[in-house]
């Protein structure tokens, strides 16, 4: 990413420069407002650091929108969005996110969500839930990655790993960012006690998964990414779990450093706040192999699997649209120098 640290001061300067285009009466009136403009630059109300301090979701959105593309039409062509992952081929790098407890009228929202992933040949993720939920999800045919909670009881984790492997999961993993409650205690999820895991424990889960790839979800630092690599993980999800920790850095801001440290040795996935193919492109140009979308798809579940699948297809078309405009022929050709940070 090309960093262009345009400060508030230069934004004020830019708006002052545009004063040259005004007639004299307009100029007098505009200049009389200039001191006020300097105190309140026009961007300020949208700036989440000011409006919503500590809101990681809001800042993640803001950061997404601060990244712009340069175009590269020459030698470009219609691209392929095929994703090769763990020996299988998918039509899109836009995956569902690991969700849980989804309700829809007359059915299990978790199953509808899986049906959607199957309908557009996307990788499907599933979070917390019962064994039966997982079996029903697998029965849809969706290639599913099961994310197991960091239960305090490792025997329960090993039991769930065994069940996920036997049920036919495509891969599995753990959301390590659910270990604590952010009030200084271990977390409790639906009455179930959680506990932080050591790198050695993660290694034991990787081993228990056998030939199935094991992925740690909730990584936001190079040091943790390296520990996951040491533990033998096949991938990580760079994620702040929808702003669990206040002031969490946007995943986009750490992708490049993490890719520099562990890229090529493990698969890098990203979630949090992705709502378009443009967002997906930005993550992938910075080094992600694929991205997940959760809350943006959730409301569509009420309209059925096709509605969710159609949205994933539309986002994939948006992604392909930016690929055409930037000379990217396939998912292996992204170039971070296309991205410019303008805010």
> In this structure, are residues 126 and 98 in contact, taking their beta carbons and an 8 Å threshold?
yes
Task: Pick the closest to residue 253 from 229, 275, 270, 236 (CA basis).
Answer: 270
Residues 153-192 that bind ligand FMN (CB under 6 A): 175
One residue of 1, 114, 120, 128 binding ligand FMN per CB under 6 A: 128
Residue reference for tokens 């809001």:
58
One residue of 110, 293, 301, 338 binding ligand FMN per CB under 6 A: 293
Q: Does 202 sit near ligand FMN (CB under 6 A)?
A: no
Interhelix angle 277-285/305-325, rounded to 10 degrees, is: 50
**Which is nearer to ligand FMN, 79 or 127 (by Cβ)?**
127
Q: Does 289 sit near ligand FMN (CB under 6 A)?
A: no
One residue of 67, 95, 97, 339 binding ligand FMN per CB under 6 A: 97
As a whole number of angstroms, the distance between CA 238 and CA 251 comes to 6
> In this structure, are residues 197 and 179 in contact, taking their beta carbons and an 8 Å threshold?
yes
Tokens matching residue 123:
């990788």
Count how many Cα atoms sit within 13 Å of the Cα of residue 86 in the half-sphere of its side chain: 20
Q: Does 133 sit near ligand FMN (CB under 6 A)?
A: no
Residues 235-264 that bind ligand FMN (CB under 6 A): 239, 241-242
Which residue's C-beta sits nearest to ligand FMN? 127
Q: Does 148 sit near ligand FMN (CB under 6 A)?
A: no
Q: Does 273 sit near ligand FMN (CB under 6 A)?
A: yes
Residues 37-96 that bind ligand FMN (CB under 6 A): none
Task: Pick the closest to residue 240 from 250, 225, 231 (CA basis).
Answer: 250
Q: How is residue 78 annotated by DSSP?
A: P
Can you give the binding site for ligand FMN, defined by CB under 6 A? 97-100, 127-128, 147, 175, 217, 239, 241-242, 271-274, 293-296
């Amino acid at each position: 990413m090309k960093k262009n640290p345009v400060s508030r001061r230069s934004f004020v300067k830019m708006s002052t420069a545009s004063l040259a285009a005004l007639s004299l009466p307009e100029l007098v009136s505009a200049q009389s407002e200039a001191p006020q403009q300097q105190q309140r630059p026009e961007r300020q109300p949208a700036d989440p650091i000011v409006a919503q301090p500590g809101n990681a979701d809001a800042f993640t959105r803001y950061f997404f929108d601060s990244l712009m593309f340069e175009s590269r039409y020459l030698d470009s062509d219609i691209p392929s969005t095929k994703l090769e992952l763990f020996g299988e081929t998918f039509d899109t790098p836009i995956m569902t996110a690991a969700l849980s407890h989804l309700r829809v009228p007359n059915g299990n929202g978790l199953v509808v969500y899986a049906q959607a992933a199957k309908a557009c040949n996307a990788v499907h993720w599933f979070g917390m839930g019962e064994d039966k939920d997982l079996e029903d999800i697998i029965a849809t045919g969706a290639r599913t990655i099961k994310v197991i909670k960091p239960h305090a009881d490792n025997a329960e984790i090993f039991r769930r790993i065994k069940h996920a492997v036997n049920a036919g999961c495509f891969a599995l993993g753990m959301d390590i960012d659910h270990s604590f409650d952010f009030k200084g205690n271990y977390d409790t999820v639906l009455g179930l006690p959680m506990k932080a895991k050591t790198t050695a424990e993660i290694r034991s889960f990787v081993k228990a998964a056998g030939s199935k790839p094991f992925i740690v979800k909730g990584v936001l630092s190079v040091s943790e990414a390296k520990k996951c690599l040491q533990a033998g993980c096949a991938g990580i999800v760079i994620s702040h779990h929808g702003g669990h920790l206040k002031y969490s850095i946007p995943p986009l801001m750490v992708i490049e450093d993490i890719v520099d440290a562990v890229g090529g040795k493990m698969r890098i996935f990203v979630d949090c706040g992705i709502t378009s193919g443009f967002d997906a492109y930005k993550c992938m140009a910075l080094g992600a192999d694929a991205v997940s979308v959760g809350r943006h798809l959730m409301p569509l579940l009420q309209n059925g699997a096709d509605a969710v699948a159609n949205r994933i297809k539309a986002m994939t078309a948006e992604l392909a649209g930016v690929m055409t405009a930037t000379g990217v022929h396939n998912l292996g050709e992204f170039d971070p120098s296309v991205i410019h940070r303008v805010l």
